[in-house]
Each structure stands twice: as structure tokens, then as C-alpha cells.
Amino acid sequence: MLTTAARPYIDASVPVLREHGLALTSHFYRRMFAAHPELRQLFNQGNQASGVQQQSLAAAVLAYAANIDNAAALAPVMERIVHKHAAVGIRPAHYPIVGRHLLGAIAEVLGDAATPGLLAAWDEAYWLLAGELIAAEARLYQTVGTTPGALQPLVIQRVERDGDEVLSIWLQTPEGQSPGPFLPGQYISVEAILPEDGLRQLRQYSLSDAPQQPWWRITVKREDGHDGVAAGRVSNWLHAQAQVGMTLRCSPAFGDFHPDLAGEAPLVLVSAGVGVTPMVSVLNTLVAQRSTRPVVFVHAARSGRHHALRADLAAARQALPGLRTWICYEHPQDEDQLGTEFDRVGRLDLRVALARLLPDGLSEADVQLCGPQAFMRAQWQALLGLQVPAERIHREVFGPELLDHLL
Ligand SMILES: Cc1cc2nc3c(=O)[nH]c(=O)nc-3n(C[C@H](O)[C@H](O)[C@H](O)COP(=O)(O)OP(=O)(O)OC[C@H]3O[C@@H](n4cnc5c(N)ncnc54)[C@H](O)[C@@H]3O)c2cc1C
Ligand code: HEM
């Protein structure tokens, strides 16, 4: 617990962080990378360039300060950070470096307002949080049976293009086996050494097939450049380079986004774009389990050409008696057939979809949500409007979590 001396300083920081949190974390990363250029290899430089990682850290620090007495509100935020840290191989020795530069950034950004009392309070708060993260990460590494940063070489067994911008990659150990257990909804980190500048980068990809299969499959959307913004580096590298026989170094599976498949309540899977990948892993797992559970699958895509893993969905429709689906295409093409391949033209209205698919209501349902930020925000609000309690809505964001639904 925070000492009574530190507490008023942390409380008083909440409005300051709301206003200056982003300036603080941006300065922090600049400061830390200047002193430790080797850490650029650990951090996603795309998230740094677009500014989302700075926003994510600012949001986490603010959430922490604002909820210092509310461990229940912080628990899912902490859980997500712990899994992300484990997926990129954070170790205890990293914490003093981050602590030093975070405190240094607070002192420099706040100037005269950074009194010795305030700096001492944040030093205490940082180490309280760091201690919890270090302990939880140690437990997770032990549960998974790995060590920080360990990657295993996996061999690409199959590569398949799926529509205009998606590529699925099947991975096995060199002995031709499954790389390991996972829970449907979890992700792995994939390492890329980028040819242009030799930069080593990790990216996370959700496993998109069932754990019962003797492989892992990832399904990668190519991030094209647009309006002067650079194209995504690792996704384009994978699209250009991935071929059968090539080796990719990957982490074990991590992630806290996995429904309880033993339950009997209706399972509601809501996704957009490539956010479909963890949902298809869930569907394929239910198929492998011959499940009869009621499942609602709602998906939004631009058109049939952008609707990833359609073949898996078609197979699940045949195999799962409890599955009901609702597909929206925003800009259907001539070849897309309304009524058979998709149900609605335009953006997803979750209220309409759920009124049709779950007419008895959502009182017991477990909801899994995955897609772009704006989509997540809209569906989160729609679900709260339908009286779904926040603790039964589980979210995965394919980038740093900005916590905008909480703050
Ligand atoms: C838990 C998790 C699971 C995921 N699962 C999947 C999955 O199953 N399938 C999948 O395809 N992806 C998934 N992702 C996303 C994936 O990890 C990568 O983020 C994605 O492939 C893009 O990486 P990249 O290296 O190609 O792009 P980056 O080079 O990292 O760029 C990211 C984005 O930022 C933009 N950008 C680059 N520079 C700037 C700049 N200066 N200003 C503004 N914007 C900029 C790029 O155009 C691009 O759109 C997941 C992410 C997470 C965290
Ligand atoms: C109290 C200390 C820390 C806090 C509060 C914190 C917070 C966060 C948050 C909020 C995220 C984003 C999670 C998401 O994806 O939603 C994150 C990711 C990450 N953190 Fe930390 N972190 C801490 C310590 C560290 C340390 C010591 C390191 C090691 C240098 C580190 C390295 C990373 C990396 C590499 C990522 C992935 C980000 C990316 O590449 O996009 N963090 N952390």
C-alpha cells in the first residue's frame, strides 16, 4: 500500500496527468531510447512512430493514479500489461531503467512543480506497481514454463493468401509438431529482423486455429501505407518473405483474452476486420469439441474480399448446431451475395444483430470483442446500453490498449 505521506501527491497528480500525461510519456521514451538505444529492439517502433504506445503508457499511469484504491478496476489493466510484457520478454533488470527515466521525465516535464515530495511519492508508487508486475510476470513465465525473452524456431509448413490483404501462415516445430498448448484467443510474438536497417522487431499475432491441431496458425493483414503514413513494416515483411520451409522465431502463447469454453451460457463473438482471428480460433476449438453451446458470431468487414477466414466460418456453420451468425459488409462487391454470404450492407449495429440472434436477451452471455479502436468504442457503448455488465465484456485490441472506455 502507498504510504500516507505519498498518497496526497498521487491524488493531486490525477488532473496534471490528464493534461500532461502524453507529454510526459513521450519525453520519457525519448529520454530512455537516447540512453539505451538497444531498447528500440524491444519496443514496437511502429507504435512509437504513431504515438499509441506513449498514449497507452500515459493512460495506464493515469488509470493507476485515479484508481489507487480500486484494485478491482486495475486488475484487468495489470493482467493485460503482464501478458504483453511476457510476450516481449520483459525481465526484472529492465525495471530500474524504466523507473529512472520515468522519474527523470516527471522532473523535467513538470519543472518547478516537481517538488521533492512529489518525486518521492512517484518513486514509491512506481516501485509498488513495478513490484506487482515483476511478481506477476515471474508467475506467468513459470506457469508457461519459459524464461524471459525465450523464442523457439518454428518452421513454416504452409502459406495461404486469403482475399486481398490477408495471409495465413502454418507453423510447426522442426520435428513437425505443435509448438505448444494455448487457449483460443491467445497470441504469440513473432520476431522479424528487418532487411532495410537490421532492426529487430517483435509483433503479436493471435493464433487463429484450434489448439487441438498439430500446428499453430497466424493470419496476418498487410498494413498498406496511406496519406503519407508509412506501410506496416513487419506485416509487409511477412507478406513478402513468408514461404514454406522458412524459420520464424516465436514466443510461447500469451494473452488474457480467452473465453471460458467450459461454460454453457451463450457466447457472443463480435469482431471487425482482422479482429476475426481470435474468434475463429474459438469457433474451431468449439468444432473440435463438438460443442452444442449457443454461439453468436457477429462480424463486420469491408466486403467479401476483406472477410478473412471465411472458409473456417463456413465449416463451423456446418459443424456447430448452436451457431448463429450475422455478417455486415460496409462496401459489398458485385460478387458478394446478400442473404447467403452476408446479412447487412453498412456498418454493424450490434443492437439489431443481437435482437435478431439472441431475442431472449443477453443476461447470461459472455461477450468477446475484437477490432479497431473506433469499432471497439462503438460496440462497448452498445453493449453497456443493452445492460451487459462491463465485467462480462472481454476486449482485445490489436495494438496498445488506450483504456478510453475506462478513463
Ligand atoms: C494482442 C495482439 C494480437 C494481434 N493479432 C493480430 C492478428 O491476428 N493479425 C494481424 O494482422 N495483426 C494482429 N495484431 C497486430 C500486429 O501485431 C501488428 O501491429 C500489425 O501486423 C502491424 O505491424 P507492422 O509492423 O506491419 O506495422 P508497423 O510498422 O508497426 O506500423 C503500425 C501502423 O502504424 C502506421 N504507422 C507507421 N508509421 C507511422 C507514423 N509515423 N505515424 C502514424 N502511423 C504510422 C502503419 O501504417 C501501420 O498501420 C495483433 C496485435 C496485438 C497487440
Ligand atoms: C511500472 C512499470 C510499467 C508500466 C506501468 C508499464 C506499462 C505498459 C503498458 C500500459 C503497456 C501497453 C500494454 C498494451 O499493449 O496494452 C506496456 C507495454 C510494453 N512495455 Fe511496459 N510498463 C512498465 C514497465 C516496463 C519495463 C520495465 C519495460 C522494459 C524496458 C517495459 C517494456 C514494454 C514493452 C516492450 C511493451 C510492448 C510495447 C510495444 O512494443 O508496443 N515496460 N507497458
Dihedral sign from CA coordinates of 76, 81, 86, 88? positive
The CATH H-level (homologous superfamily) assignment of domain 7-144 is: Globins (1.10.490.10)
The hierarchical CATH code for the domain 267-396 is 3.40.50.80
Average pLDDT, the chain: 94
Q: Measuring from each residue's beta carbon to the nearest atom of ligand 2, which residues come in under 6 Å? A: 39, 42-44, 47, 53, 56-57, 60, 80-81, 84-85, 88, 90, 94-95, 98, 126, 129-130, 133, 400-401
The residue among 49, 9, 30, 52 whose CA lies nearest residue 104 is: 30
DSSP SS3 for 337 = coil
- Ligand index nearest the alpha carbon of residue 94: 2
Which pLDDT band holds residue 62 (cuts at 50, 70, 90)? confident
Q: What is the pLDDT of residues 337-346, one digit of tens each?
A: 999 899 999 9
Residue with the larger pLDDT of the pair 68 and 289: 289
In the chain, the amino acid numbered 406 is L
Q: What is the pLDDT of residues 248-288, one digit of tens each?
A: 999 999 999 999 998 889 999 999 999 999 999 999 999 99
Say yes or no to pLDDT of 403 above 80: no
Q: What is the pLDDT of residues 284-295, one digit of tens each?
A: 999 999 999 999
Q: Is the CB of 230 under 6 A from ligand 1?
A: yes
CA of 123 from ligand 1 middle (Å) equals: 33
Q: Domain boundaries in the chain?
A: 7-144, 152-250, 267-396
The hierarchical CATH code for the domain 152-250 is 2.40.30.10
CA pair distance 247, 256, nearest whole angstrom: 27
* Residue 405: predicted pLDDT: 67
Q: What is the pLDDT of residues 24-50, one digit of tens each?
A: 999 999 999 999 999 999 999 999 998
| Segment 208-229 mean pLDDT | 96
CA of 322 from ligand 2 middle (Å) equals: 39
What pTM was computed for the model?
A: 0.96
CA of 27 from ligand 1 middle (Å) equals: 23
- Ligand index nearest the alpha carbon of residue 148: 2
What residues are annotated to the active site? 95, 137
Half-sphere exposure of 282 (CA within 13 A, CB side): 29
Which pLDDT band holds residue 406 (cuts at 50, 70, 90)? low
Please state, as a whole number, how many other Cβ atoms lie within 10 Å of the Cβ of residue 111: 7
Q: What is the pLDDT of residues 143-154, one digit of tens each?
A: 999 999 999 999
Q: What is the pLDDT of residues 315-349, one digit of tens each?
A: 999 999 999 999 999 999 999 999 989 999 999 99
- Ligand index nearest the alpha carbon of residue 84: 2
CA of 84 from ligand 1 middle (Å) equals: 15
Nearest atom in ligand 1 to 399's CA? 53
Q: Would you state the cell numbers that stand for residue 346, as one nine-digit string?
A: 453498412
CA of 43 from ligand 2 middle (Å) equals: 8
DSSP 199-264: -EEEEEEEB-S-TTSSSEEEEEE----BTTBPPPHHHHHHHHH--TT-EEEEPPPB-S----TT--
* Residue 364: predicted pLDDT: 86
> Best substitution site from 164, 206, 219 to test ligand 1's pocket, by max atoms within 8 Å of Cβ?
206
Which pLDDT band holds residue 407 (cuts at 50, 70, 90)? low
CA pair distance 317, 47, nearest whole angstrom: 37
In the chain, the amino acid numbered 306 is H
